[in-house]
């Protein structure tokens, strides 16, 4: 069986498991405990934090360990937006002074709501966080449109920013179609407006540079990199007015309460270091394999369509629509032929609704439901021609009703 759904999750690397094991057994301490067992755990946590910070090019104090990418996205978006809302009530709460958060209004006039910007193609964790802010806190949310390739226009972003904009949240690379955004241009816009930019880098980590993005906050999930599920990171500037989403014992410098997952943090640090060390070589190798695979699929199935940007895309992602089929039926046929993959985001698996990403790219609902996504691992070296042949056979079988 060939597993080609690495955007959903990856196996734990052996070296990651080895590094984690002591903190799951004899070094099991709570890092908040003031005794030798707890102090050993605290030391390991601090080391993991410093190693993650080094890869990301941030200060160790900017690294917040979370339970994964979803929590990291929630903390960034809700935390910065609610932090801006609370700053209105008490300006002394804010440590920084970005002008975009200065929402003072003329005397006697109601202040406009705190404003959040995202895009129409984001992961559910981002979109649901924005929906929550709109529904519960009465905030205004702008969801930027994208073009047919899933690309966000910097000009459209600039036009959407208001004086009351508290945060812009955009995916570095899309989890379904693999389109990579021009983060240099987007971050130049937010920097000029002095508005915090959050990048969801869950899919980008390991494939794209994480230093120098211009982001003020950046989310990563360990299980996309060869660490286990249940550990993630939000790297966020410590001077930003970030309101916690989880409240309790005040861990992570009062930004994320809850006993830290020391073993997970250690594993994430190792996985992130290894992925970064391999990034250039793996991106070139896997990208070449992906391109050959895509060309062969398109030649064998002339009605197939490669979704996302044709060149500015993740090296490990190829997503297609196969008009006249059912994506789920093609997946079943592929599994019968020894290939395991998906129709898109694992978080939306089982939904009868067409992908919101594909709809936002202008693909009609019927065609959107024929999508199949192939995502490859860093270490992939095998010839993908047999997979392309299996795709053609699976599509033909579905179309013939066989």
CB 303 within 8 A of CB 324: yes
Task: Determine the Cα angle at 209 with ends 242 and 308, to 5°.
Answer: 95
Q: Of these residues, 2, 185, 346, 347, which one is catalytic? A: 347
Q: Is 361 a catalytic residue?
A: no
How far apart, in Å, are the Cα atoms of 294 and each of 187, 363, 388? 31, 19, 8
CB atoms within 10 A of CB 188: 16
* DSSP single-letter state for residue 56: H
Give dist(CA 321, CA 98) in Å, integer.
Answer: 43
How far apart, in Å, are the Cα atoms of 13 and each of 6, 145, 314? 13, 38, 21
Among 136, 150, 152, CA closest to 197: 152
Structural domains present in the chain: 2-8+279-400 (3.90.1150.10), 14-274 (3.40.640.10)
* Percent of the chain with pLDDT strictly greater than 90: 90
Among 277, 319, 356, CA closest to 7: 319
What pLDDT does residue 32 have? 93
Residue 219 has which token pair?
């989310």
Among 312, 315, 305, 311, CA closest to 371: 305
Dump pLDDT digits (tens) for 304-330.
999 999 999 999 999 999 999 999 999
* DSSP single-letter state for residue 179: B
Q: For residue 235, what is the enclosing H or E element?
A: strand 232-236
What pLDDT does residue 61 have? 96
Residue 401 gets the label, from left (phi > 0), alpha (psi -120 to 50) or beta, of: left
CB 88 within 8 A of CB 100: no
- Interhelix angle for 327-336 vs 385-400, to 10°? 120
**Residue keyed to tokens 């008009």:** 323
Burial zone of 38 (CB within 10 Å; 0-12 exposed, 13-18 middle, 19+ buried): middle
Label the pairing between strands 339-340 and 165-171. Answer: unpaired
Residue ranges of alpha helices (H) inside 90-226 are 124-137, 154-160, 183-193
What pLDDT does residue 97 have? 38
b/e sequence 348-365, b meaning 16+ C-beta within 10 Å: beeeeebbbbbbbbebee
Dump pLDDT digits (tens) for 267-290.
999 999 999 999 999 999 999 999
* DSSP single-letter state for residue 209: -
Give dist(CA 255, CA 239) in Å, integer.
Answer: 12
Which segments of the chain have a pLDDT < 50?
94-108
């Amino acid at each position: 069986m060939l597993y080609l759904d690495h955007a959903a999750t990856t196996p734990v690397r052996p070296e990651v498991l080895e590094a984690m094991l002591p903190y799951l057994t004899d070094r099991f301490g709570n890092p908040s405990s003031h005794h030798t067992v707890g102090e050993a755990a605290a030391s390991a946590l601090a080391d993991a934090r410093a190693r993650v910070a080094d890869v990301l090019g941030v200060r160790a104090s900017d690294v917040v360990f979370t339970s994964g990418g979803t929590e990291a996205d929630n903390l960034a978006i809700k935390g910065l937006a609610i932090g801006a809302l609370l700053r209105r009530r008490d300006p002394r709460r804010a440590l920084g002074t970005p002008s975009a958060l200065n929402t003072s209004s003329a005397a006697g006039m109601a202040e406009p709501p705190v404003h959040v910007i995202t895009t129409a193609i984001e992961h559910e964790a981002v979109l649901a966080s924005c929906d929550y802010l709109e529904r519960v806190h009465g905030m205004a949310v702008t969801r930027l449109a994208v073009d047919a390739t899933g690309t966000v226009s910097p000009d459209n972003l600039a036009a959407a920013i208001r004086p009351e904009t508290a945060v812009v949240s955009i995916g570095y690379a899309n989890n379904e179609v693999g389109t990579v955004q021009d983060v240099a241009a987007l971050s130049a816009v937010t920097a000029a407006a002095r508005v915090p930019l959050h990048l969801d880098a869950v899919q980008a980590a390991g494939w794209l540079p994480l230093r120098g993005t211009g982001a003020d906050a950046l989310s990563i999930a360990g299980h996309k990199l060869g660490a286990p599920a249940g550990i993630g990171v939000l790297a966020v500037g410590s001077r930003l007015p970030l309101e916690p989403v989880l409240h309790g014992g005040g861990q992570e410098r009062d930004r994320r309460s809850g006993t830290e997952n020391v073993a997970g943090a250690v594993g994430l640090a190792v996985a992130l270091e290894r992925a970064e060390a391999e990034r250039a070589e793996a991106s070139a190798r896997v990208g070449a394999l992906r391109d050959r695979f895509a060309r062969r699929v398109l030649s064998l199935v002339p009605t197939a369509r490669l979704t996302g940007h044709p060149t500015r895309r993740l090296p490990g992602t190829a997503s297609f629509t196969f008009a006249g089929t059912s994506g789920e039926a093609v997946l079943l046929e592929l599994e019968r032929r020894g290939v395991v993959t998906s129709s898109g985001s694992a978080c939306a698996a089982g939904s009868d609704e067409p992908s919101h990403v594909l709809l936002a790219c202008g693909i009609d609902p019927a065609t959107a439901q024929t999508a199949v996504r192939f995502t490859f691992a860093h270490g992939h070296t095998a010839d993908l021609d047999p997979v392309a042949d299996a795709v053609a056979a699976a599509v033909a079988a579905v179309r013939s009703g066989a």
